[in-house]
Structure 1
């Protein structure tokens, strides 16, 4: 049976205080319109994420998933409400939260190694050169890019570029990883391989992850919980699904279970319901 938590505009979601890491409390995000009005993107969002939890945000385009992620990253400010990490309000970007975007954001004049080293130099400036090199080498190996370390971005594939971005984000040892459609620009085969690789890394180096995706199968395979958003404007958390599969995960084994199909159908029915309403 699918375990879910239902939400409405007057319902908040919380977990026991000792597990709270990221806390989003009564968050609303709106923009002023040219006619002097207000366009509400997100309304009364309440969510907590544990320090070792993988959470996915899913919903139709325009429901504010990426906006919520940017607020957690400190790239945008909420109109009202509060977002805290370990009890401290998030007001701006910080090295405790690293973002991986759908598009690779690599500096084309730097090699793979140099793109990762740049982030390490910026954030971990107190370390010795040998320690910084050790960290870069460790993360190159973690994403299987040691052999490509001296290549430039235009000499490697899209999947490899995304692995550089992930290695760069992880190398500075953030407390939370934020991913906005990180596999969306990849072909199906590369996407599946990279999903597994990222999940393997996470299972061996647990940290909080908040990932935006449109892919139900991806969310089920990778996540501990799936946060399903209602349509915008004024989007809310409609439902949160608990994913029951233990880690480490085997994709084939999961897909052969009745729980997988029940969870998948539940998520798709939720999305179909809002798609019909949107149409």
Structure 2
């Protein structure tokens, strides 16, 4: 099920060039230990991501998923190897890569609208006041939060807070959206609704997305490819699964398909194999 080709055609017959956008080459990350040794988290990661591709990274706790995402975000530096976006090495955070965390990271003294406007003011400095207002309102509507625009974070639900974070990230028009288990703190019903909403936004406003998740069903529903990580330390990419289903996706139809269950069982068997190695 793993494919290594850099140029392919996705389920919508859209050419996906996986070279030249995000390139991760021979990436290693280690930390010094108290006894003078080294703890190797990631060891030899190689991955190409297309400019409009949605990928999910799955693995057991401690396999370096979030560390990998932080290096793409520029929040951590590789010990060796490189991470390049459009041929330029990533050395620090940048507005072309926006992060959505599991925790909402909203400023409690600002309203929903003001939290989004703050990011727009910081990044889109040359936009006029009218343009900024239009961008904020557009993205509030995109995540169905227009009615909550003047509420404060403590006045809205967890799902709404996460929608604010997503709208804030998208409002500055990044080339790549990075999400670290963005639905992990939500109840099952809210989680499902927000998965659907984020996927709908991405289907109409394509960009590269790298999302960390522990949920195989979530990855199959949302992504073009699933990156399966081996256990840490010395974690590597164990396998890459292509997800062949067309967009837009119907969750119920997917779950009724034989291919869905084949992919699901394959991913779960991979994870079970590494889980049992810990015992």
- Alignment TM-score, normalising by the size of structure 2: 0.95
Tell me how far apart the structure 2 counterparts of residues 19 and 156 of structure 1 sit (CA, whole Å): 39
Tell me how far apart the structure 2 counterparts of residues 241 and 225 of structure 1 sit (CA, whole Å): 5
Name 1:10's counterpart in structure 2.
none
Name 2:55's counterpart in structure 1.
55
Name 1:31's counterpart in structure 2.
31
In structure 2, the residue corresponding to 1:4 is in which secondary structure? coil
Name 1:148's counterpart in structure 2.
148
Name 1:15's counterpart in structure 2.
6
In structure 2, the residue corresponding to 1:98 is in which secondary structure? strand
In structure 2, the residue corresponding to 1:265 is in which secondary structure? helix
Name 2:12's counterpart in structure 1.
none
Name 1:235's counterpart in structure 2.
235
Contact conserved, 2:18 with 2:50, CA < 8 A, in 1? yes
Name 1:195's counterpart in structure 2.
195
Q: Size of the alignment, in residue pairs?
A: 270
Gap regions ≥5 residues in structure 1? 6-12
In structure 2, the residue corresponding to 1:45 is in which secondary structure? strand
Q: Report 1:99-114 matches (<5 A).
A: 99-114=99-114
Tell me how far apart the structure 2 counterparts of residues 183 and 106 of structure 1 sit (CA, whole Å): 15
Name 1:220's counterpart in structure 2.
220
- Alignment TM-score, normalising by the size of structure 1: 0.95
Contact conserved, 1:98 with 1:174, CA < 8 A, in 2? yes
Name 1:9's counterpart in structure 2.
none
Name 2:261's counterpart in structure 1.
261
| Residue 19 of structure 1: how far off its partner (Å) | 3.5
Gap regions ≥5 residues in structure 2? 8-15
| Residue 128 of structure 1: how far off its partner (Å) | 0.3
Tell me how far apart the structure 1 counterparts of residues 278 and 234 of structure 2 sit (CA, whole Å): 13
Contact conserved, 1:14 with 1:48, CA < 8 A, in 2? no
| Residue 4 of structure 1: how far off its partner (Å) | 1.9
Name 2:13's counterpart in structure 1.
none
